[in-house]
Structure 1
Amino acid sequence: MLLIAPDRVVSIDQLVEAVWNGRPPTTCRTQIAICVASLRKAFRTAGYTGELIGTSAPGYLLHSAGHHIDSMEFAAGVDSAQTLARHGDVGAAADRLGQALGLWRGLVLTDMSSPVLETEAELLDHRRLAAYEQYATLQLQLGRHREVISELTALVHDRPLWEQARAALMLAHYRSGHRSEALALFRQAQRVFREEIGLEPGRVLQDLHTAILQEAADLVAPTDVAGPLSVAAVSPQLPWGATEFVGRQDEIKSLDGLLRWAREGVSSVGLVVGRPGIGKTALVLHWARRAAPAFPDGQLYVDFERTDTADAPAVLLRALGLSDPEIPRNYQDRVREFHRQIGQLRLLIILDGVPDDGVAHDFVPKAGKSCVLLTSRRVLATAAQVRLGVPELTPAESVTLLGSLVDDGRVEEDRVAAHRLASLCDYLPLALSAAAARLVAKPHWRFPHLLTRLGDRRHRLEELSTGAPVLRRVLDSVYRTLSPAAAGLYVRLGLINGECIAVWEAQALLDVGAMAAQRLLEELVDAILLEVADTGPDGWFRYRLPTLHALHAEETAHAEVAAAVRKAAYDRVLAAASSHVKCPADSRAIPALRRVD
């Protein structure tokens, strides 16, 4: 964790999450301190007397000065090569990229069971492949087509939808006298693109295919590379989305509305919102790959859940080819430089997990030809040509997703139980994936066994967070963004029946006035933790707390709210219940007590 963030403070909380995957022991902070002490001792024993690992609130940092860290040297090499390429020094740029790629020795961070490090490993490997794609393009400009065929073949095998890499391999084969292999690569692309994303290959591949058929003169290997390097389109920056994707046809059709502005060369904005774990990211990445041909200058991606807002402009500028010395230090200057760089480019820019309207305002272009697609766990007021709220999957789609994730016949064996499992998961893709992971890890389990474990509401969230605590972590992260008053109401809602929540219940839980209670309820609606159910006979809105949210709220209440405070809140609701009409769907006269003791 310290090596992948040199010269930056890594908090103890981040270290705990990486080491124990969301299930830390009570002594976790002490154990982290012991581990750091052991590391320091190991370096002293090896003869290094300086302070390699420093203590800096709220955690530790690794000082890189005077040391060689391969990932840093790789990143610096890529930046240097891109600068050389922009100044027309193709040969030096190719050599510098070759040196940077030479630092790699197989897969990175192997044998690590931490989801945090697995994500970092995937990002590093993506950067390696993108760097090799750039390297191959430079080698072709230098006439070194035979040298890149072997590794380009491996890259296309691993990333069959990367059009730039496939085009480079087609050109390398053609220049090597392998015309049939070059044409076969295009036919393979047609098949893969149709099967995977339902589209034909993009303009780059189609134009190259036509040029090969016509034996165009400009395909001949260059003999003079002294001229300036033409800047290619931005390499694909999208991470891998969900391996299995089902349904969402209406949502995809809505997003396709953005393509009209793209065809007209006009900037546009799409906004996708939805509750935590609903599959917003999977949806936009799936759509982005289908829509790639409409954005010939490339795709950019930044995840605000993993990237600080202050760092986001720099991430985008690096993706656009700027080296660190060329990136301004001031945040606003970086934002302005980002808008200057994208200019009239036709890019698809995905901003995933945008925290608020202020961040959206900074990154949405006021002019140009790019499309910006935002996802958020909050309702944003940002103006958008397409606004989309992502619902739960349908029961049938949920079972289909389970069947694709647990592909050993257990779903077909007991579809009734599979439907029941989908219901217990709130038809939420993240929860369904967690349940499927449990079944895959336990091939001797059948659906009834997992249903029994999930049937106990006190342990359901725990069962869906075992091994990969993403669900609980996502809900925690949203909860921590609430105002103190709204957070207090949220956890107390876990003490009562959450299927139909009236304003008077919120009043009683917090002992506040009606308007104050409704403001806090609406804050929870904006955070997409609460849903509007209907309008009650008193004219006030009534709300619904989804089951998994209710379990999280209840769990958090018992962890953070004293028993006496919980009991007092419930007693106030009980006292107020006699003078109010409950929802028709709720046959109880009073709300259900949730483990107050």
Structure 2
Amino acid sequence: MLLLHPSNVVSVDALVEAVWNGRPPATARTQVAICIAALRKRFKTEGCDDEVILTAHPGYVLALDHHYLDVTEFERLVAEAQDAVRQQRLTDAATLYEEALGLWQGPALAGVAGTQIEDEIQRLEELRLATYDSFVEVQLELGHHREIIPGLVSVVRDHPLRERSRHALMLAQYRVGRRAEAMETFREGREQSVEGLGLEPGPELQELHTAILQDDPGLVTPAPQAPKAPSAERRTPMELPADVPDFVGHGPQLAALRRLVGDDEDVRTPLSIGLVTGPAGAGKSGLAIHWAHRVAEHFPDGLLYADLGLQQEHQEPTTADAVLGRFLSSLGIPATEIPTEPAERVALYRSVLAGRRVLIVLDNAQAFDQIRTLIPGGSRCCVLVTSRGELEQLLIRHGAVRIGVDALPLREAVSLLGRVIGEARVDAARQDAVQLVELCDRLPLTIRVAAARLAAKPHWPIGYLVDRLSPEQSRLDELSVAGTQIRSAFALSYRALPSDAALLYRRLGLLEAPDFAAWVGAALLDRDPAGTEKLIDQLIGAQLLAVAGFDGTGEPRYRFRTLSRLYAKELAHQHESVRDRRAALSRAFDGWRALAEYARQAERGEPEPLVEGAVPGGPADAALYGRLARLPSDWLHAERQALISVIDQAARHGMDRVSDALTLLMLGRPRPEACVTGSRPPHPLRLDPPRGRPAAECLPRTG
């Protein structure tokens, strides 16, 4: 996988998927790390002093700064040969094609298995055969008919249904006076096509057969044709939207994007593709458009732009076929000459872009299939895609560079607010400004919405808007203005979820815990943890949930961005009954209670033995209880804030049994001075915190 995507980051998840085809063992990530370490050691043993495999979040990258890779060299030579053909330098083209084909010493990736690898093997083999066919066509143009016959015979024997190769063999045989052999070559091909596919040979093969029967004079010598002149003037499209006003931050992302554009435009490199991904409102489109304006001068042949997203909540996404038609028109193809057949439209699009240096920005892509045909074949273009999804196939098949965007750092978020409403206004109420951008999740979209409201109402103090945004039940309303509905941004991602993942999203929104483990989702759904983890992955892929990190027991933890949680909670109240919501919370709270009880028992060295196939509390699996037995204090530390929030939330919902039990468990033993807001523990525990102290401070800091 690293060899197939040189100089690009390949995530650990992609490596796991490639090796185990969707059925990884629990130790998959560890095994990947062991293999990487072994490879690094092997490179050192072979005398390679510099690092070849680098660690780069979220995986590894094969660094080729001082190394040679046959497949990249092959693609470079083929690109140069294609340029030579376009310039009618046929002798140079033949030499370059021959050098490229000489790099092949046998089947690509021989002995390597896996679904993704097998797909790549097929792609590389098809690329080799297509290159050989192009080489043969150049040799036929040069009149080297006799020299190419042995190789063609071998290719036709191995690939009897490949009509392009059979056509070239028949033509070469006829031109060297072996007319009968040419006819036999056609007869064998027709027989195999009819028997194997139930189809007659294609029209080009049949036309050549007829021409040979008639000794058509046009077959004796090649008849070079001048390139067809375009029927319209070559246009230079400039389709980018206006640059983002008051653009702030994203320095590392801009630096990563800059590497997509080489310093030497005459050097042939593989097609550069960037993927900007992140949650709704994080500024993906703004970053892409801003960068495109900055590098526009590097693309003298034009700038193409398409918004593939849903303009309205209930619209269908823009189709690739529609975009292709518009792009071809922008590139100067008259409407009457744009094919109606999708395959022909794609072929024309790639032919028109061949040799041109064009930047193509595909904004708000929903899925890989939506952009697959919009990726040009030439290497001089650059493609930049923005999407909330991960579009893993774009990384796997095309080696795209992934650039993640998320909330702005605090300083940049406040700076963006100041650029819109004025620095003096921010300086006069900096604490309020900090609180405001935090209430906006530090997302560029919501900060701009809040700033627009303040700019439109200069008599409002910043603190006044902070007060309006503080109540969670009204925050989404306050951050929705005409034409910019934050709910719509979340709705586009939510609507694309499968029903089970949508249900999990809604129920997770009921929680007030700052972060949580996967077993919590399983409890909310009353399902097994393994299946729930897959649903959580879908929510992460949709940018509706984020990974908070790993706790001391090795468990991944997840968190909401606040606005996403509020939207999920709102949906839960719209679509779930009071009874279902309460039952889901009760299962989750009981799970926390059972796990906390077990952790306290383990701390005392007396955990209850587990019965095979059953675990206390239900939602968590036996493996989690095993980790609890080994690391009880680490688990309690990781869950401390979550447990405090559960105590408060359970008390407010009248679930006093859980609230009281967790209060005692957090204290370790009853102490009269202990307290938690909203809980109702039995006497002698106090019900209210001491004046001036947050409720969380009333619980011990350890354990």
Shorter-chain TM-score: what band? 0.5 to 0.7
Pairwise CA distance, 1:233: 4.6
Pairwise CA distance, 1:584: 4.0
Pairwise CA distance, 1:242: 2.0
Given that 1:300 and 1:349 are in contact with CA atoms closer than 8 Å, whether structure 2 keeps it comes out as yes
Pairwise CA distance, 1:589: 6.3
Indicate yes or no: 2:251 matched with 1:249.
yes
Pairwise CA distance, 1:342: 1.2
Residue 318 of structure 2: which of 308, 329, 334 is its match? 308
Pairwise CA distance, 1:592: 5.9
User: Aligned partners of 1:291 and 1:337: how far apart in 2?
Assistant: 26
SS in 2 for 1:570: helix
- Describe the shift of the 1:229–1:358 C-alpha distance in structure 2 as closer, same or farther (beyond 3 A): closer
Given that 2:231 and 2:333 are in contact with CA atoms closer than 8 Å, whether structure 1 keeps it comes out as no
- Describe the shift of the 1:338–1:238 C-alpha distance in structure 2 as closer, same or farther (beyond 3 A): same
Structure 1 partner of 2:295: 291
Residue 458 of structure 1: which of 457, 469, 473 is its match? 473
Indicate yes or no: 2:381 matched with 1:370.
yes
Pairwise CA distance, 1:228: 9.6
Matched AA of 1:522: D
Structure 1 partner of 2:539: 524
SS in 1 for 2:366: coil
User: Aligned partners of 2:264 and 2:582: how far apart in 1?
Assistant: 57
Pairwise CA distance, 1:541: 1.4
Pairwise CA distance, 1:558: 1.2
Residue 566 of structure 1: which of 564, 570, 581 is its match? 581
Pairwise CA distance, 1:323: 3.5
Matched AA of 1:248: H
Pairwise CA distance, 1:252: 0.8
User: Aligned partners of 1:368 and 1:574: how far apart in 2?
Assistant: 56
Pairwise CA distance, 1:232: 4.7
Pairwise CA distance, 1:553: 0.7
Matched AA of 1:273: T
Given that 1:461 and 1:472 are in contact with CA atoms closer than 8 Å, whether structure 2 keeps it comes out as yes
Residue 277 of structure 1: which of 273, 278, 281 is its match? 281
Pairwise CA distance, 1:596: 7.5
The answer to which of 300-309 and 531-540 deviates more is 531-540
SS in 2 for 1:579: helix
Given that 1:349 and 1:370 are in contact with CA atoms closer than 8 Å, whether structure 2 keeps it comes out as yes
Pairwise CA distance, 1:229: 9.5
Pairwise CA distance, 1:400: 1.0
SS in 2 for 1:578: helix
Structure 2 partner of 1:340: 351
Given that 2:236 and 2:331 are in contact with CA atoms closer than 8 Å, whether structure 1 keeps it comes out as yes
SS in 2 for 1:588: helix
Structure 1 partner of 2:456: 441
SS in 2 for 1:391: coil
Structure 1 partner of 2:559: 544
Pairwise CA distance, 1:319: 1.9
Given that 1:262 and 1:369 are in contact with CA atoms closer than 8 Å, whether structure 2 keeps it comes out as no
Residue 588 of structure 1: which of 634, 637, 644 is its match? 644
SS in 2 for 1:556: helix
Structure 1 partner of 2:216: none
SS in 1 for 2:489: helix
- Describe the shift of the 1:591–1:555 C-alpha distance in structure 2 as closer, same or farther (beyond 3 A): farther
Structure 1 partner of 2:428: 413
Given that 1:570 and 1:593 are in contact with CA atoms closer than 8 Å, whether structure 2 keeps it comes out as no
Indicate yes or no: 2:432 matched with 1:422.
no
Structure 2 partner of 1:509: 524
Structure 2 partner of 1:361: 372
- Measured against aligned partners, the alpha-carbon deviations of 1:233-257 in whole angstroms (never above 9, x if no partner) come to 5231001232220111111111110
Pairwise CA distance, 1:346: 0.5
The runs of 5 or more residues in structure 1 that have no matched partner are: 1-226
Structure 1 partner of 2:390: 379
- Describe the shift of the 1:591–1:343 C-alpha distance in structure 2 as closer, same or farther (beyond 3 A): farther
Q: In angstroms, what is the RMSD of aligned CA positions?
A: 2.4
Given that 2:516 and 2:642 are in contact with CA atoms closer than 8 Å, whether structure 1 keeps it comes out as no
Matched AA of 2:261: L
- Measured against aligned partners, the alpha-carbon deviations of 1:194-233 in whole angstroms (never above 9, x if no partner) come to xxxxxxxxxxxxxxxxxxxxxxxxxxxxxxxxx9998455
TM-score (norm 2): 0.50
- Measured against aligned partners, the alpha-carbon deviations of 1:372-427 in whole angstroms (never above 9, x if no partner) come to 11111011211235221012111111111111111384222211111110111111
Matched AA of 2:367: D
Indicate yes or no: 2:290 matched with 1:234.
no
Given that 1:533 and 1:544 are in contact with CA atoms closer than 8 Å, whether structure 2 keeps it comes out as yes
Pairwise CA distance, 1:593: 3.9
The runs of 5 or more residues in structure 2 that have no matched partner are: 1-228, 312-316, 596-635, 655-703
User: Aligned partners of 1:564 and 1:242: how far apart in 2?
Assistant: 47
Pairwise CA distance, 1:511: 1.0
- Describe the shift of the 1:231–1:325 C-alpha distance in structure 2 as closer, same or farther (beyond 3 A): closer
- Describe the shift of the 1:374–1:498 C-alpha distance in structure 2 as closer, same or farther (beyond 3 A): farther
User: Aligned partners of 2:562 and 2:406: how far apart in 1?
Assistant: 15
Given that 2:234 and 2:331 are in contact with CA atoms closer than 8 Å, whether structure 1 keeps it comes out as no
Given that 1:492 and 1:553 are in contact with CA atoms closer than 8 Å, whether structure 2 keeps it comes out as yes
What percentage of aligned pairs have identical amino acids? 35
Pairwise CA distance, 1:265: 4.2
Given that 1:498 and 1:545 are in contact with CA atoms closer than 8 Å, whether structure 2 keeps it comes out as no
- Measured against aligned partners, the alpha-carbon deviations of 1:97-117 in whole angstroms (never above 9, x if no partner) come to xxxxxxxxxxxxxxxxxxxxx
Correspondences of 1:46-85 after superposition (within 5 Å): none
Given that 2:284 and 2:386 are in contact with CA atoms closer than 8 Å, whether structure 1 keeps it comes out as yes
Pairwise CA distance, 1:312: 2.0
Structure 1 partner of 2:507: 492
- Describe the shift of the 1:386–1:275 C-alpha distance in structure 2 as closer, same or farther (beyond 3 A): same
User: Aligned partners of 1:338 and 1:589: how far apart in 2?
Assistant: 57
User: Aligned partners of 1:576 and 1:408: how far apart in 2?
Assistant: 49
Given that 1:351 and 1:374 are in contact with CA atoms closer than 8 Å, whether structure 2 keeps it comes out as yes
- Measured against aligned partners, the alpha-carbon deviations of 1:313-338 in whole angstroms (never above 9, x if no partner) come to 22222222233333222334333332
Higher relative contact order (CA 8 A, sep 6+): 1
SS in 1 for 2:644: coil
Given that 2:513 and 2:646 are in contact with CA atoms closer than 8 Å, whether structure 1 keeps it comes out as no
Pairwise CA distance, 1:437: 1.4
- Measured against aligned partners, the alpha-carbon deviations of 1:352-387 in whole angstroms (never above 9, x if no partner) come to 111112233322234331001111101121123522
Matched AA of 1:548: L
Aligned length: 371
SS in 2 for 1:567: helix
Structure 1 partner of 2:407: 392
User: Aligned partners of 2:521 and 2:493: how far apart in 1?
Assistant: 20
Pairwise CA distance, 1:443: 2.0
Structure 1 partner of 2:87: none
User: Aligned partners of 1:560 and 1:326: how far apart in 2?
Assistant: 51
Correspondences of 1:12-27 after superposition (within 5 Å): none
Matched AA of 2:344: D
Structure 1 partner of 2:592: 577
Given that 2:480 and 2:486 are in contact with CA atoms closer than 8 Å, whether structure 1 keeps it comes out as yes
Matched AA of 1:590: V
- Describe the shift of the 1:308–1:261 C-alpha distance in structure 2 as closer, same or farther (beyond 3 A): farther
- Describe the shift of the 1:366–1:512 C-alpha distance in structure 2 as closer, same or farther (beyond 3 A): farther
User: Aligned partners of 1:350 and 1:475: how far apart in 2?
Assistant: 23
Greater C-alpha Rg: 2
- Measured against aligned partners, the alpha-carbon deviations of 1:268-303 in whole angstroms (never above 9, x if no partner) come to 111111111100111111111110111110110001
SS in 2 for 1:259: coil
Residue 351 of structure 1: which of 344, 362, 369 is its match? 362
User: Aligned partners of 1:262 and 1:593: how far apart in 2?
Assistant: 60
Correspondences of 1:82-101 after superposition (within 5 Å): none
